[in-house]
Each structure stands twice: as C-alpha cells, then as structure tokens.
Amino acid sequence: MIGSQRFATIVTCIDGRIQRPLEEWAIRHLDVDYLDTITEPGPAAVLTATGESHLTAVLAKVAVSQRAHGSGTLVIVGHADCAGNPVSADEHRDQLRRSVARLARRLPDTRILAVHADQCGERCWDPELVAEVSPTAVGPDLVF
C-alpha cells in the first residue's frame, strides 16, 4: 500500500482483450485501487507445469509488487480461447487450481485467487472464481 492506495497483483495472459475487463472486475471485487500486472502467454499452464527457474522468475515479479506496493492478494487468470494455452475450459480450471496449490506453498502470507473468464461476446468477460487460498487458513484452504 502506498499511502491510502491499495494494490493487488495479477498474473494474466498477454491477450489484450481481457486486460480492461479483468482490471474492472478486480477493482470491484477485491476493493483495491490498482493492479500490478504480470503477463504470460497461458499463465495457468506456465504456473502449473514450468520448471522452478521460470516459476522463480514470475515470483520475483510478484515480490516486487508486494515489497513496493504492499500487495497481499495475488490473482491468477485463465480465459477461454487462449492462444498460449489452447485447452478446454475444464482443463484451464484444473490448471488454475493446481497453480493456486503450488503458489500457496511458496507464498504462505498471500491471499491467492484463481479466476477463469469465459468469452460471451465482444468485450464481455465474466470471471468465475475457481480457487482461493487465504493466509489466515490453517494450511492451504482451497475453495473450489
């Protein structure tokens, strides 16, 4: 947090179609003023299946957001029609759940959410909460 400004961190796809709708959703649902945005093509696959060096690189970016802006919430995003991760919506949701579990072990003091956005027409994205882990829970308390 910088002064009274509240931040969350989001790891999302490079796909520009989802940037603004996700920012609006996050600001509305997370009660924050700003998002620090980290982009990866197909982030759910990246966070689920990549080796430790790539995961460490993403987590280093998350650490900058946490240190500089006091972000205590991390949102991982998957979406329909993803060119970087062309799998079914069900597979996206599974990857998102596994991403949250993997990150919870590395970020025990961070609230982590995973959302999946289905496309419903031009500029119409309705993110669905897929998983959440709270730092106040005893062990990773995943909500599905």
9-45: per-residue pLDDT in tens? 999 999 888 888 888 888 888 999 999 999 999 999 9
Q: Report the pLDDT value the prediction gives residue 142, as an integer from 0 to 100.
A: 47
- Owner of token pair 């989802």: 18
Q: Report the pLDDT value the prediction gives residue 25, as an integer from 0 to 100.
A: 85
Q: Report the pLDDT value the prediction gives residue 1, as an integer from 0 to 100.
A: 56
Residue 109, exposed/middle/buried by CB under 10 A (0-12, 13-18, 19+)? exposed
What residue ranges of the chain have pLDDT lower than 50?
A: 138-144
131 phi-psi bin (left φ>0, alpha ψ -120 to 50, beta other): beta
Q: In 72-117, which ranges are continuous DSSP H helix?
A: 89-106
Closest CA to 59 of 104, 95, 94, 17: 104
Tokens representing residue 144 in the block: 């599905």
Q: Report the pLDDT value the prediction gives residue 141, as an integer from 0 to 100.
A: 47
Q: Report the pLDDT value the prediction gives residue 69, as an integer from 0 to 100.
A: 96
- The structure's pTM equals 0.87
Topology annotation, domain 7-133: Beta-carbonic Anhydrase; Chain A (3.40.1050)
